[in-house]
Structures are given as C-alpha cells and as structure tokens.
Amino acid sequence: MEHLRLSFDKVPEVASQLTAKEQFPVIREGSFDLKEVGDTYLNMRSWGKGHVWINGHNFGRYWHIGPQQTIYVPAPWLREGINKIVVFEELKPEQDEIESIAAPILNELQNK
C-alpha cells in the first residue's frame, strides 16, 4: 500500500493507475461548457465523500450523510466556455456524473 499526501488548497496532481472496479479513492476530472454564467449548486447526493475543485478553486467537501448535500458554486468562479472540474472521491470510485441544480438541498439528509 502506498500513502500519498494531498494538499487540498489546490487541485491534486496524482497520476492514478486504478480502475473504477477497485475499491480505492479516485480522482475524477472532467469539463463542462457554459454558454451563460450564473450561480449554481452541485448535487452531490449520489457521491460518497470527498472534495470538489472547479477551475482550480477548492469548493469544499461533501459527505453523503451530511451536512453538505449540495455545493454552492458562485457565478464569479465560473467562466463562459469550458470549465474544468476535479473530484476526489473516497467511498464510491464508480461514480462519474454530477448534476447542477438551481437551489440547494438543505434538509434531506441520507442515512446510508
């Protein structure tokens, strides 16, 4: 087993050779294209536990049991065109989709 130190003040740069079938933390990278910038929330309910970065900015942590079910993403931290998202996921390495929603989920905690 190899232990890696991750600094959460910036996007982790770890070259992973693990597949989603293995039960290890993973770093997911992706991008999304915006035609118009505005405040939004990331729905993290289907994810397990981890951290999110967008365009190099750490937006915080989430955990399926709470308190964060959604992550607030303010418009000034987004840009028209391509935006990069990185997720460090500790519990559900198979997860690979995130939904953007208009309002936060504040009072629906999960007990999984």
One pLDDT digit (tens) per residue for the chain, 112 residues:
566 666 666 666 655 555 545 567 888 999 999 999 999 999 999 999 999 999 999 998 998 887 778 999 999 999 999 999 999 999 999 999 999 999 998 877 666 5
Give rounded-to-5 percent helix, strand, coil for the chain. 5, 40, 60
Structural domains present in the chain: 26-90 (2.60.120.260)
pTM given for the model = 0.78
Please answer whether residues 84 and 29 qualify as being in contact, where contact means their C-beta atoms are separated by less than 8 angstroms: yes
